[in-house]
Structure 1
Amino acid sequence: MSNHSRIRLTAAAAAVIGALTVTACSSGDSVVDKPKAKASAKAGSGQQAAKKPAAKASAAPEVAKPGDTLALKGMEAGSKLDVTVVKVVDNAKSGDEFTAPESGNRWIAVQFQLVNTGTKAYSDSPQNGTQVADDQGQQFQSTFADVTAGPSMSSDVRLKPGAKALGWVVFEVPKASKMATVQFAMDSGFADETGEWKLT
């Protein structure tokens, strides 16, 4: 076989391997928007619980909205969180006199609750894995700001299994934008699973 043929075969093999690698990396990515059933839906015991299994099974809505919890996985085995968008404040007010949205913009504040449901300790800056999107598909990352709605989410959250964290994450968006969704992903946004809540 000539050197030229060997080079062509090597290049072809590299291209196939590259394509397989890209496929393998992207095949696990998914958006999770089916919420867990709320605790109140699970309540009930004895005959009452036995009488209405169908109603309890359909207690969770089809698409997550504020107030709903999503079960998400991280990149490592045993890395899991139950993430709840507790509240959303549109046009949130600054918690101090020094910071404010730029002219023509407003702040959207989202209160997240994180519960470590895995077997490994969770350590991350949750804001890095969050974003909101408007009804035109424009996406906006979080910004560092304190709001009157309540305490900000820590930028260095560390949770042992069973522990939880609660705090607000702020996003700066144009005043004219209508927010459609908010997303959260573990591992500073690099996890394969992304949770999504519908805002409209």
Structure 2
Amino acid sequence: MIHFLETLKKQRWDDHRYYHHSRINQSLHLVSAISFLTAYVLLFIDPIAASLLAWLVAMTTRQSGHFFFEPKGYDEVNKATHEYKEQIKVGYNLNRKVVLLSIWAAIPLLVWANPIWLQKFVALNTFTNTDGFIRQTGLLWLWLGVGGVLFRTFHLFFIHNVEAAFAWMTKIMTDPFHDAKIYATSPLYLLKGQLIDPMDHGSYEEEPLPQ
């Protein structure tokens, strides 16, 4: 268990130091974290509403930060190229995210087409109004989220090991709590005009907190 927690801590630290230099990205992750935490509560009340909130707000803000605001040049702090960081990333790198988000964007089109095979595969009903279309889309997005996490976890079993895979899955599920904590002050630094975190807060053995 101690080694598992160390693996989890190291994955969190690497995620922070490699992929969250931009204060805008950090601030968007704060918005995403709050949205995900709200979605977690909604899961027990209305799972489809939780899925819609998670994908339309939490995921869009989170991934916008990575795609549009995070620096893609040479990382002077960690002495690593963008290509190297993409290659060693444990979870979804940008290329994998493009595939995942493409599936996400295609789902509403599939629901609108409402093919027979889709109705049988996921037990969808023929919708008769906008609300039905939205809720069926939200249901498929919910399954996509679960499937995306499970698929990468099983993949990590083979390219890393079981411990690393479960540590990553745990990290993904608890990221909203962790991100809300460590990026809580990022908007304040952004308002002061600091666009890039100096990343001078030690190693993963210390809790990584933006300066």
> Which range, TM-score by smaller chain?
under 0.3
Higher relative contact order (CA 8 A, sep 6+): 2
Tell me which protein shows more strand as a share of its residues.
Answer: 1
The structure with more radius of gyration: 1
Q: TM (normalized to structure 2)?
A: 0.24
